[in-house]
Structure 1
Amino acid sequence: MGPLLMLFAIYTAIFLIGMFMMKAGFYALSGHRLKRWLMRFTAAPWQGFLTGMAATALVQSSSAVMVMTIGLVATGYLSFRQSIGIILGSNIGSTVTTELMTLDIGDGAIPLLIGGALLVFIGRRRFVYSIGMIAVGLAALLFAMNGFSSLAKPLADYPLVDAWLKQTNSSTAIGLFVGIALTALVHSSAATIGIAMGFLHEQLLTLPAAIAILLGANIGTCITGLLASIGSSKEAQLTAYTHLWLNVAGVAVFAFWTEPFARFAAMLSPAPDVQLAHVSVLFNTICSAAALPFVGIIETAILRLHGQKRA
């Protein structure tokens, strides 16, 4: 089992490196304009919502946008109230990554990798370099996804993994715990969802179980923001707490509906991994859209919950 676990760790590292390169490429395209957008277009909750969604789709990382938002709140460039809209939008923007992970380009990943690498090394302009980074990152991500799928069945032959799969398939609570723990460990909800897609593609995980892992990943991803807020101002800490509680609330509601969600997703696509990606979009869109009209109430609730009177 040791060699398989080593390969699994390598594929996870390749996935995370791919995510980092895509994030770096997209960020290089936007430059410091991203921070200016966050500060300028967040006066109203709906503006923060749209800005958070666009910013996360650009940098391919809700964690990066959250850390940036917490930093801007800590330095006084953004208020705690403004950050709530950004959080809601960021949750939707993060689903772009899960949809990209389902791309099926066959053997096209290798030309994509080679072409991207050439652009990185010979590109003198920022735009060319950025496109190269994005291409290499996407190729690495797709390569890792294929790796997860190829390892799923060999790993499932081991009693420990087989027992874990059976328990996860039979218990939503275990799926939630796996999603939370794995995401907190690797600091990437996309990596956790990618691993779930690998097992799902080989029919070793049921769609409801994979949805439970996805829901847990939405809570686990909050650990990055909580760590970033340590030692920051009270408002910055409130921003991190809000990210956590909004995700916990959404998961608490939808955890009881994994079966109906799975049946609905099955009508959207015949491919299991695409179904899970669509569930991610639906879950985050429904939760964020439902919460957006109540930003004022959310602000008051968080202030009361964490012992601070509203100014």
Structure 2
Amino acid sequence: MLFYILRFLLGFGLLISGIKFMSAGFKGLADGKLKMYICIFSENLLVTILTGIIITAIIQSSSATTLMIITLVNAGLITFRQSAGVIMGANIGTTITAQIIIFNIIKYSPYFFLLSILCYLTGKSCLQNISKAFLGFGLLFTGLHLVENALGLFYSCRFVSSNMRFLASNPFLGIVIGFFTTAIIQSSSAATVFLIALARQGYVDLKTAIFILMGENMGTCVTALAASLWVNRNSKKVAIFHFIFNFIGAVFITLIFPLFIEFISSMSPNNIGKQIANAHTIFNVLSTMVIIPFYDIILQAIDNILPENS
């Protein structure tokens, strides 16, 4: 049993490290231009949403995008109103990681490692950043493979299986678990990948997984809320909007839950991993669509909570 626990911990560590290396590599390729792009494309709401999607898909971290936005608002380079669209887009862009890992390409991991070494040995800065991205892909899929293997063996344990059944019968507990898991590991992408691994091994069903996703979305706000403690009032508004966005999204999905779960199930009837990845993406797209009609009202409410002259 100890061997499998160590295998699980190693796999989970590799999984998180893989996402971190991918993020570092793609950020390095952008070479500091991301902030410039945000400043340029921050006038139109739909354009800012698209900007948030693209930037977060590149750097693989909605938390990093949100912190970048808080920095820009704190410096006065963009306004709170301009930042809100990027935040909505960031929540959609962060779902790309889950869409990537549903393709079972563990057999190609050695090639990712080989390409990483070859790119690094060139000594060129650009290729060394690509090296980090390849290394990240290799670590991500290797880690996921180790985690899934270990989880498959854990499921035979009576204690584990009984607790999973309890979780399935108490889906709202999934929100709490998702929240604290993401708040602790500081990566909703890693938490979602881990959730897919759990589902593939039969630990959670789609219903429970969606509630966990709700918690993960809110848990990813902890980083921004913590960072906002040391910045100006407008930057605090960004962190508050981030949380409100995810909270409203969770409430909306809960209200339409039977329809939502039926729609997700029909898209990929026999692939729980793909169902969760699709649920994560569609969840955030729907959240954005729900927020847009009330965009001005929500921003005004936040302005009233934190007025400039208080």
Q: TM over 0.5: same fold?
A: yes
- Residue 261 of structure 1: CA displacement? 2.7
Q: Which amino acid aligns with 2:95?
A: T
Aligned positions, number: 309
Give yes or no for contact 1:215–1:255 (8 Å, CA) kept in 2.
no
> TM (normalized to structure 2)?
0.93
State the match for 1:249 in structure 2: 248
State the match for 2:61 in structure 1: 61
State the match for 2:271 in structure 1: 271
Q: Which amino acid aligns with 1:308?
A: P
Superposed CA deviations along residues 89-123 of structure 1, whole A, max 9, x for unmatched, are 11111111111121222411122222223212x13
Change (3 A) 1:135 1:292: same
The worse-fitting range, judged by mean Cα deviation, of 63-72 and 263-272 is 263-272
C-alpha distance in 2, partners of 1:310/1:43? 25
C-alpha distance in 2, partners of 1:290/1:59? 26
Give yes or no for contact 2:233–2:308 (8 Å, CA) kept in 1.
no
State the match for 1:203 in structure 2: 202
Give yes or no for contact 1:81–1:295 (8 Å, CA) kept in 2.
no
Indicate the RMSD between aligned Cα atoms, in angstroms: 1.9
State the match for 2:285 in structure 1: 285
The worse-fitting range, judged by mean Cα deviation, of 64-73 and 188-197 is 188-197
C-alpha distance in 1, partners of 2:54/2:15? 23
Q: Which amino acid aligns with 2:148?
A: S
Question: Could you tell me the percent identity over the aligned residues?
Answer: 27
Q: Unpaired segments of 5 or more residues in structure 2?
A: none
Q: Unpaired segments of 5 or more residues in structure 1?
A: none
Change (3 A) 1:294 1:310: farther
The worse-fitting range, judged by mean Cα deviation, of 127-136 and 58-67 is 127-136
Q: Which amino acid aligns with 1:79?
A: T
Superposed CA deviations along residues 261-299 of structure 1, whole A, max 9, x for unmatched, are 333222222321011101111111111133234322111
Q: Which amino acid aligns with 1:84?
A: A
Query: Runs of at least 4 residues of structure 1 off by over 6 A?
Result: none
Give yes or no for contact 1:300–1:310 (8 Å, CA) kept in 2.
no
C-alpha distance in 1, partners of 2:162/2:303? 43
Superposed CA deviations along residues 189-241 of structure 1, whole A, max 9, x for unmatched, are 11211121112112221111111111111011111111111211011111101
C-alpha distance in 1, partners of 2:160/2:183? 20
C-alpha distance in 2, partners of 1:310/1:2? 59
Give yes or no for contact 1:168–1:209 (8 Å, CA) kept in 2.
yes
Give yes or no for contact 1:56–1:94 (8 Å, CA) kept in 2.
yes
